[in-house]
Every structure is written in C-alpha cells, then in structure tokens.
Structure 1
Amino acid sequence: MNRPRTVLSAVPLVAAVLLAGCTSSADIEESAASGDAAPGALVVDTSPDQERVRTTTSDEALALLPPAVAEDGVLTVAVGAFTAPLSFLADDNRTVIGNEADIAQLIADGLGLDLELVTTDWSNWPLATSSGAVEATIANVTVTEERKQLFDFSSYRVDELGFLSTAGSGITVDGPADVAGLRIAVGSGTNQEKILLAWDEQNRAAGLDPVDVQYFENDGDTTLALQSGRLDLTFGPNATAAYKAATAPAEFEVVGTVNGGWPLTAQIAAATARGNGLAPAMTAAINHAVDDGSYAQVVERWGLSSESIARSETNPPGLPAS
C-alpha cells in the first residue's frame, strides 16, 4: 500500500525562542559522533532525511474519523521546534524532528491521512487549535480539567519530571527529604518549581535544611552549571533529562522522577478542538500503533520508553484547576 506522505510547514520562528531552546541538533550530532561516547549511548539521527517509524491504517480509527477531516486527506498538526527530544530542528535548521513529530506521523498513518506539521510557539497552540487553523496540537500538552473545557485529548505519554545529576553523583531522589540542602535549578513559573517549593516547605517544617533553589536564563547555562559543579541537580521535564542521560551516559544520569501532577497523576496528550469528533479517532490510531509495536519503537528511538503508556485514553482525568 502507498503510505501517506509528510509535509513540513514552518511559520517564522522568533529568535528569542530559538535562543531559549534546549540542545541543538549540531550538539547532539557532535556528541553522538565523539570517540569518547560511552558504550550503549543513544545515537540520534539529526538529519532532515528522517526514516520515521511508520504504521498502517487502522480500520477502527478510520471509521471514527470525522468527514470534515477526511475530506482533504491531510492531518494538520501543530508542534514546537525548540526542545530535544520532543520537537526540534534538524541539521538543516528547518525540518522538525523528534518524538512529537513521530507520534504525529503514527496518528496520521493510522487515520490514512497525509501529515502536515506546522511549527508554532507554545503560546499560540490554544488559538490555533480552537480556531481550526490546525486540526491537532502535539506539543507536550498536559491534560487539565480547565483545558478540557475547550479541548478534547488523546493521551500518548506519561507526564513525568526528572532530577538530572552528573554521572556518579551518588544522589538518589525518592521524595522530599532527599532534596534537602541541595543546590537545584528549576524553571521560574513552572509546575516543577511549584512542586520543588512545596517539598522545600515540607522539609523546613520537619527541620531539614532548605533547598538552594537557583534560576537560569536558558538550558545551556543550566547544563554548564551542573557540569561545573555549581549545581547538584536540575529539575525539569523528564523527557529532556532522560534524553541527555541516554545520549551522554558518561556525563549525566537521572536520579529520580516524579509525576508532573504530583501528588496527582498527569498525562501528556494530543489536543483537538472540543466536540469536533477527532479525538476518539486519534485515540484509536494511537492504540493501533501501541498494538503493532510502532509506538514502542518511537519512544525507544528518542530515549522515552520510561514515559510510555499502555493504552491511549480519550479525555483522561485532568489536573484540577489550581
């Protein structure tokens, strides 16, 4: 059978956003090509000519596909382009690659549609999705009850946060007491900051040493501070932490994880406009990829097997409004 094609469409990228991005494809490729790479390190293809994992059309998903989406034969998906391994730019600085792009491809394949990826800034995805400018967003979106008022969701990854240290640090984080007295970098205004500050408050109440919370302008500065010994840990999305540890195991290791919804459980999901009927079809397409093994190949390819799901759900329980 002829598989659906992939169209890559890029909107202009804001320079400040690119500067704030995480690891570049050049950094990844240089690290992978280094003769000092540790045995078993994850080697990543950062070329624009991606041999993406593919799947077949799902009869169940196709039967659920709304006619309005099926009409033009294309699934238009908004993705970011700024964070490895989720979604970032290949060596040509134009083609979007990463786990999110691969998940979008599996969904499009399952629906029997061509895929068009549209890069967008995080702040723009809600309007783009609700207005119909794109049919779905796959950009590390956490399911919340507030978002479910405007969007339907098809889960595809567990929302996990990770503590990253230098390799051989001897640190293990299983709970709040394990971060007492440590120097930890966290993003300002993030969910991980909220969790870390709650843990610190709990520790202080128990008479433990306070956390030395530190903030940096970008991921590169944070990583340099960790490597130079000015930090004990960084605390952020486990996807980026696990990717660094997988591609450079001689330099980094993940020493603990916590669900992004702590003390509740959160899910990462594809977002579609509420009530347009697309979410059930996308959920069926994801589960088709789970069943045939292509989903497992994708998450393994990007070092994210620890965040894989057993089944996709339509509109799983979301985090409550804070």
Structure 2
Amino acid sequence: MRTLSLRSRFHRGVIASAVVASLAAGLAACGGDSDAATKTDSAPAGTVTVGALSNGAAKETQLKVTEVKSISAELPKAVAESGKLVIGVGALPAGFPPLAYVGDDQKTLTGAEPDLGRLVAAVLGLKPEVKNSTWDNLFVGIDSGKVDVAFSNVTDTEERKKKYEFASYRQDNLAFEVLNKSTWNFDGNYENLAGQTVSVGAGTNQEKILLEWKGKLEKEGKKLTVKYFQDNNSLYLALSSGKIDAYFGPNPGIAYHVTQVAKTPNPTRNAGKFSGAGATLQGLIAATAKKDSGLAKPVADAINQLIKDGQYAKWLAAWNLSNEAVTTSQVNPPGLPLDNS
C-alpha cells in the first residue's frame, strides 16, 4: 500500500462541496499552522459534543465523559502538569470531510478526528487544544514537541514506527459506493467483481488493488471494466446515470458522500469494504505521538475506556463510520510492512 498516494486521493476525493472548500480557505490564509480551530462547544461540564457544526455530515451527539484517574496517572509528567492535551490535525488547506474540516461556523475545526481527540482528552482529565496544520507540518509539530498527539487519519506503518508510537483507533478501509437501488455487494472476494464497471482514482492504492483483481479475472476469462474521471462531479454523474456500477475509494470519503446525497433523487450506499493494507493485513488508523514519549499507552487506555463505556461506538455512529470500528486500541500494533509503507 502506498499510504501517501491513498491519502492524496482521499484528500482530493472527499471534498465534494464547494462550501467546505471556501470555509477552509480562511484557515489556509493563516499559514502552515492555525490555532483558529481550538474553539470548543458550549456543552455542559462532563460532556463532549461530537458531530457539532458538521454541515450535515454527522448527527450531533452529546456524550458524558469523565476523567479516569487510573489512566491519567499514566501520563508523562510534563503533559500532566500542563493540564492540556495538544492535538494535531493535518487538515490545511482544504480539509477532508468527514474526518477533519472547517465547521459551519466558518472557524471551528470539526470532524471525527478532532472529536475523538477531545473525547480522549476528557478521559485523561486534560483540556483539549486542537492545532490545525498542513500534513507535513503535522509531523514537524510532533517532532518539535509542539503537538502531543496527532489524530489525523495516520496509518500505522512499520516505517513510521522508527520515529513515532501509535495507539490504534479505526480500521483503515477502502469501500465500494453504489446507488441505493443496486443489488450488488462486494463480499470480500474479487471474483464477484466479474462483469462490473468500476471507477477508481488514478495513481492510488485502490487503483493498484483493483487492477490486480482485474488481471486475475482476465486470467479466468472474466471481465472487470475500470474507468477514470477527472473530478467527482463527473464520477457521480456516471454513477447516477448507470455508466458505472460502483466507485472504489476511501471508506470515510464514501461515508461522507452517502450522507450528502441521502435526500437527493440518487442516494447511494456503501456496498462493502476492503482493508487498505490488502487481503492479508487489516490496516489501522492510529493516534500518533513521538517515539518514547510515553503517550501511546495512556491514549490507548483512554480509547479502550471509551470503547468499554460505549462512547466510542456512539462517536463512530455519529459520523457514519461504524464499519471502521476496532474492538480494542493497541499500542504499536503490526503496521504496513517496510516494503509497502
């Protein structure tokens, strides 16, 4: 899996709304980093509001979260004494809904990623301070100590473990999007793609996977047609008109688009997922901290507390990402191999 190419396509593919792009432009003007997105909601003490200001991408949900002393006691001394958790998100310049983007107040960073960061901070008894930056500056922030931990759709890879430590919290998945009226579903086996016409982004990890399946089907005397489009408008026009049967792309972006077209004449649905790491390894998205910082363990324990108490499932459901749930947060789980990072 070429993680960066997948991420690049993810950023391009999910920004389907010109409104979101125009809102994000205000943050981009601030430069490489922005503190403009640190505003929190006015929920009662002991609650965290997820899905706030989401421009219709999420169901706003208030979750009760309190500090767990046994977990906050694990924090590195410097972080505990600061009283805050500095959360890094690499969403400049345009954001990537539904994971991280400018909310409908035109200044607050919303999305599933900063929401989880705020939930984790609550379990740790810390005040969340969200810093938005470019993708490259996100890692500069971690390296320099300006950011404690990133919640920014970072894939756990063996290459990145050389510099960072991880606490997993979501599956890293690709998915197929089809019209609601379609009866086709992907069952995890490439053979049920026979006879389908599927669109995919050029130069992406999902294209690599899809072309490998196409080659296998051709050897079996079966046909899979792959089509490309230069922009999302053309892609979804082709889907709604029946020129293609499905779109193969990053699961979160598809989840977002499904919510955006739910009440239109051509609603769509998720027709099945596939690990971004391929058939032999479930890819994982993970909170990312500097190696040997001592943060991965308390962050993982905080996430597991959220899983145990049910807030984790409600967080995912609010953002239509329940199909990326993990049963437990792991510290430095097996990641993308070095030869595929």
Which TM-score applies when normalising by structure 2?
Answer: 0.77
The equivalent of 1:62 in structure 2 is 72
1:163 maps to 2:176: yes
Work out whether residues 181 and 212 of structure 1, in 8 Å CA contact, stay in contact via their aligned partners in 2. no
- 1:252 corresponds to which of 262, 265, 268: 268
Work out whether residues 79 and 139 of structure 1, in 8 Å CA contact, stay in contact via their aligned partners in 2. yes
Equivalents in 2 of 1:159, 1:245: separation in Å?
18
1:182 maps to 2:196: yes
The equivalent of 1:308 in structure 2 is 325
1:73 maps to 2:83: yes
Gaps of 5+ in 1: 1-16, 28-42
Deviation at 1:134, TM superposition (A): 1.2
Kindly tell me: are residues 52 and 189 of structure 1, through their superposed partners in 2, closer, same or farther at Cα, counting changes over 3 Å?
farther
Q: Which SS does the other structure have where 1:120 is aligned?
A: strand
Match of 1:129, as an amino acid? I
Equivalents in 2 of 1:55, 1:179: separation in Å?
44
1:53 maps to 2:66: no
The equivalent of 1:232 in structure 2 is 245
Deviation at 1:318, TM superposition (A): 0.6
Which TM-score applies when normalising by structure 1?
Answer: 0.81
The equivalent of 1:203 in structure 2 is 217
Equivalents in 2 of 1:255, 1:118: separation in Å?
35
Work out whether residues 60 and 284 of structure 1, in 8 Å CA contact, stay in contact via their aligned partners in 2. no
Equivalents in 1 of 2:204, 2:255: separation in Å?
19
Work out whether residues 54 and 105 of structure 1, in 8 Å CA contact, stay in contact via their aligned partners in 2. no
The equivalent of 2:128 in structure 1 is 115
Work out whether residues 78 and 118 of structure 1, in 8 Å CA contact, stay in contact via their aligned partners in 2. yes
Deviation at 1:211, TM superposition (A): 2.6
The equivalent of 1:36 in structure 2 is none
The equivalent of 1:22 in structure 2 is 15
The equivalent of 2:32 in structure 1 is none
Deviation at 1:177, TM superposition (A): 2.0
Q: What whole-Å deviation, never above 9, does each CA across 1:9-65 have from its counterpart, x for those lacking one?
A: xxxxxxxx99875244968xxxxxxxxxxxxxxx985369x7653411122321110
Deviation at 1:110, TM superposition (A): 1.2
Equivalents in 2 of 1:25, 1:53: separation in Å?
31
Deviation at 1:128, TM superposition (A): 2.4
Match of 2:117, as an amino acid? A
Q: What whole-Å deviation, never above 9, does each CA across 1:236-276 have from its counterpart, x for those lacking one?
A: 11122234335544610111211111112111111111111
Work out whether residues 185 and 216 of structure 1, in 8 Å CA contact, stay in contact via their aligned partners in 2. no
Q: What whole-Å deviation, never above 9, does each CA across 1:266-307 have from its counterpart, x for those lacking one?
A: 111111111111110101111111122211111111111121
Deviation at 1:147, TM superposition (A): 1.1
The equivalent of 1:278 in structure 2 is 295
Equivalents in 2 of 1:124, 1:220: separation in Å?
30
Gaps of 5+ in 2: 1-9, 21-50
Per mean C-alpha deviation after superposition, the further-off stretch among 117-126 and 17-26 is: 17-26
Kindly tell me: are residues 265 and 232 of structure 1, through their superposed partners in 2, closer, same or farther at Cα, counting changes over 3 Å?
same
Figure out how many residues of one structure are paired with residues of the other and give that number: 289
Equivalents in 1 of 2:147, 2:202: separation in Å?
29
Work out whether residues 52 and 110 of structure 2, in 8 Å CA contact, stay in contact via their aligned partners in 1. no
Deviation at 1:176, TM superposition (A): 1.3
Kindly tell me: are residues 150 and 233 of structure 1, through their superposed partners in 2, closer, same or farther at Cα, counting changes over 3 Å?
same
Equivalents in 1 of 2:218, 2:314: separation in Å?
44
Match of 2:287, as an amino acid? A
Deviation at 1:131, TM superposition (A): 2.4
RMSD, aligned CA: 2.6
Match of 2:76, as an amino acid? P
Q: Which SS does the other structure have where 1:83 is aligned?
A: coil
Q: Percent same amino acid among aligned pairs?
A: 36
Work out whether residues 100 and 114 of structure 2, in 8 Å CA contact, stay in contact via their aligned partners in 1. yes
Match of 1:208, as an amino acid? K
Equivalents in 2 of 1:233, 1:292: separation in Å?
37
